[in-house]
Structure 1
Amino acid sequence: MTKNVVERIDDLVKIKTILVSVSDKSGLESFIPGLLGINPDITILSTGGTYSKIKEILGPDAEDNLKQVSDYTGQPETQGGLVKTLDFKIYLGLLTETYNPAHQDDLKRTHALPIDMVVVNLYPFTQTIAHENVIVENARGNIDIGGPTMIRAAAKNYIRVASVVDPKSYDGILDLLKAKAGSLGIEDRYSLASKAFEHTAQYDRAIADYLAGLSEKDVQSCYKTEG
């Protein structure tokens, strides 16, 4: 099988389109206006409760910069937000490479935007299982799928995309963007990718350890089984 080997990238990538979908919404009230203060033309794609929070933060200005992922993809969110971001246009926007003509043709064909930054943190799995008398179904419901997938896609494509997983990093990222005229450098994106993979690794480790510690009785006690 022929491997795609990237030989040319941009050091500085201007942040024009970001995707924001967070469980922990702390810090957004300063981060989002801060991003728009640096580049007023940023497009923000968002989902569910995060979309509502950003709309509240931006007020009347929201319609100029904020778009629901479901409107962008043309696919409504499923009941309970089960599927929101797992869409071809989203992952095309995250994984495409700037100097790959086939990728650029795919973006044009689908009218997809190259996504330059994801701001994602995950369902509170460890906080949920820390509660006294938590049941297996509560834990299962807090296993995030779309979040880790977006984080991993962005982190894999650090040659173009910034992956932001920690609200504590928002101020530092704004400082970098201010210093670099709204762009992030390869060293910035690489550092963020390393942190992102560590974040998802810890998340998956917590899930694996929890499931390994359950007994068959623990699992069966939560459900009525058929057949």
Structure 2
Amino acid sequence: MEKKPASAPVALLSVSDKTGIIELGQALSRHGWKLLSTGGTASALRQAGLPVTEVSDHTGFPEIMGGRVKTLHPSVHGGILARRGSDEAVLAEHGITAIDLVVVNLYPFSQTIARPDCSIEEAIEQIDIGGPAMVRAAAKNHAA
């Protein structure tokens, strides 16, 4: 029986502070990783000449509500939470790709609310939901 070639590992990069993200993306790409990313991060990686798939293309669902909902999707969280060696059938059944690495930093909430001119509305928009959810999912599945 012929062995199926292994898929390239997938890294999900979604950062507010883009410091060092190009260099990391270049290193991952050079080592054969597939890059998956959200809007602004994907744009930065693409401008640097890196091949990147937008999360919205990966999920088949656009970013909505002004970017409030980007990564909160079963194709993202299922890919992060899938236990290697036991959840492959579920991934295949639902067409979900495993995500092997999550690179996230959160919205700068503390810096935003420290500004004297910060409005309540601006502060509310800096409450990150998707980032912490991905960090927690990756932490839960760190050993898988």
Same fold, TM-score > 0.5, yes or no: yes
Give unmatched runs, 5+ long, in structure 1: 1-14, 161-227
Matched AA of 1:47: T
SS in 1 for 2:11: strand
Aligned partner (choices 6, 16, 20) of residue 9 of structure 2 = 16
Displacement, 1:29? 2.2
Q: Secondary structure at the match of 1:123?
A: coil
Between the aligned residues of both structures, percent identity stands at 45
The CA distance in 1 between the partners of 2:65 and 2:121, in whole Å, is 17
Indicate the RMSD between aligned Cα atoms, in angstroms. Answer: 1.6
Pick one of 113, 117, 134 that aligns with 1:129.
113
| Cα separation, 2, equivalents of 1:53 and 1:86 | 21
1:170-189 matches, within 5 Å, as: none
Question: In structure 2, which of residues 59, 69, 75 is the aligned counterpart of residue 83 of structure 1?
Answer: 69
Return the alpha-carbon distance in structure 2 between the equivalents of residues 116 and 28 of structure 1: 17
- The answer for unaligned runs of 5 or more in structure 2 is 1-7
Report the AA paired with residue 124 of structure 2. Answer: R
Aligned to 2:124: 140
Q: Distance between the aligned counterparts of 1:36 and 1:67, measured in 2?
A: 12
Supply the distance in 1 between the matched residues of 2:68 and 2:117 (Cα, whole angstroms).
25
1:45 and 1:29 map into 2 onto residues whose CA distance is 13
Q: TM-score normalized by structure 1?
A: 0.58
SS across alignment from 2:133 = helix
Note the 1:41-56 alignment, pairs <5 A: 42-56=33-47
Aligned: 1:73 with 2:59: yes
> Which has more radius of gyration?
1
User: Distance in 2 between the 1:34 and 1:18 partners?
Assistant: 11
Partner of 2:18: 25
> Structure 1: which 4+ aligned runs deviate by more than 3 Å?
none
Judging by fraction of residues, say which structure has more helix.
1
